[in-house]
Amino acid sequence: MHFCDIVSPVLNQLFFDVYINKYSVSTDLDLSFQGGFNLASPYYIDHFVGSNVSGHIQVDVGPSKRSLPERANAILNGLEIYRINGAAIFHPNFRKKELLAVVFIGFFLGTLFFLFVLVVLIVLACQKWRSQRLSCPIDSSAQCSPLPVFSGNSYSRIIEMATPRAVAFSTSNLSLKIPLSEILLATNYFQEQFQIGSGGFGKVYKGILRDGTPIAVKRGARGSQQGLQEFRAEVELLTKIRHRHLVSLIGYCTEQSEMILAYEFMGKGPLRSHLYGANHNPPLSWKQRLHVCIGSARGLHYLHTCSCQPIIHRDVKSTNILIDEKYIAKVADFGLSRMGPHLNQTHVSTCVKGSFGYLDPEYFKTQQLTEKSDVYSFGVVMLEVLCARPVIDQSLPWEQINLAEWSVHCLNKGNLDRIVDPCLKGKVDSMSLKKFGETAERCLAQYGVDRPAMGDVLWNLEYVLQIHESKHCQQSLSQQC
């Protein structure tokens, strides 16, 4: 049975049921989902049924109970019927020798087919084993593994076979689907008092699931083509990877043209709110800032190295680094992420995406994307942590407006004290500050080839933390003496 929604003006408006010989075979069929959230996308379903005594097959389609009265409709674009009659080859006119020949040929062809399938399975298993050996996990807590199924009620749905180009998400992603009714209940129908933020994709709400689990709900703006692309990219990515320092996806919802993502709730909010701004929280200590930088660096390092083809975030900034109640930092917002170059490539060519003030100038000029673009953006975040000021501040003198340019100028002149957060002055060892500043400066090199890899940045940050803790221990011992 072939379907193609060429009648609906928008997505998620056409729901219908399919019957064969008056028996229901498909209920609430949604061509928007099966067609990859694209109108006029072809889709087919195979059914194996027996005919009645008359030899006739009756096929019916009709609106489902989910359809709105004013939009009730159903479509069927094509029908293919194959007849299988197992008794035909045993016609009485067949002679015994001919029957034996048919049986022998069938056995021979069946054996060849079995051997062929066995060889294919062995080759695929070898390729999978080789790819796993080539992958580069960071530690025991940073392995490429899919997310667990949503812990509440089971929302899994069974789908029929679809053409490859019509599949929106893999079948493993369907276990993460959450009904819209559950989202509405969790957020009290998206009341403003539950809103905790907003961004380019849409508004963010805090919600509580029925089992008491707090979640962050990101609701995309309807009709946004860019939002749809970011939504699909984030679902596809976060269902394939998992790491302690990456925000976990709990589920998603696409009912009634909605684009809703549900994440684990990060109680302390974005890093930026702990550095400056209207919602400025109490200042973080130097040790807390280092732990936040180390955690987010681990998350980015995992993205860059968890497989032979790196994942490039493309929008690393202080609002996309979230902190939980234990001050553990996690990288969030993967809507702009994309796969990086293969092992035999140096870069991927793509249109420029990112946030002003954090954007890699080399990527901006050449449109050639590598992992080093994330390194540059992370260097800007490190300067935010060090200086506790916005990356672009129009209220400052002209030469100080851009944080990256001003900080590099001061670091080159040896004037680190001019840019350090006043809350840190006199409380942090100078060697620790100097090493931190040098690492950030290397991340901001003009050319990507001169910037360190994310693993080197992580190593340097851990070294800065060791310097700080050793000095702190020495001071504590001297005070006790």
CA distance 333 to 197: 13
Q: What single DSSP character describes residue 402?
A: B
Q: At what angle do helices 430-443 and 403-413 cross, to 10 degrees?
A: 130
| Identity of the amino acid at 412 | N
What mean pLDDT is predicted for residues 260-283? 89
SS3 127: helix
Q: Which residues of 440-453 are buried (b: 16+ CB within 10 A; e: fewer)?
A: bbbbbbeebeebbe
Mean pLDDT of the residues in the chain: 82
How far is it, in rounded angstroms, from Cα 106 to Cα 147?
45
For residue 40, the model assigns a pLDDT of 75
- Cα 45 to Cα 262: distance, rounded to the nearest angstrom: 30
Neighbours of 300 (CB within 10 A): 27
Structure tokens at 109: 């062809």
pLDDT for the residue 136: 41
Write down all domains in the chain, each with its CATH number in brackets: 2-63 (no CATH), 174-265 (3.30.200.20), 267-477 (1.10.510.10)
Question: Which pLDDT value is given to residue 386?
Answer: 97
Q: For residue 435, what pLDDT is reported? A: 96
Estimate to the nearest angstrom the gap between the alpha carbon of 413 and the chain centroid. 41
Q: Active-site positions? A: 315
Mean pLDDT confidence for 240-251: 93
**Binding residue per annotation — 218?**
yes
Per-residue pLDDT tens over the stretch 370-401: 999 999 999 999 999 999 999 999 999 999 99
Report the range of poorest mean pLDDT among 34-48, 105-119, 311-325, 364-378.
34-48
Which pair of tokens denotes residue 424? 């840190």
d(CA 373, CA 447) in angstroms, rounded, equals 10
| 94 pLDDT more than 70 | no
For residue 110, pLDDT over 80 is answered with yes
Give per-residue pLDDT as tens, 28-74: 777 777 666 677 778 788 887 777 767 788 888 888 887 777 777 77
- What pTM was estimated for this model as a whole? 0.64
What backbone phi and psi angles, to 5 degrees, belong to 437? -65, -40
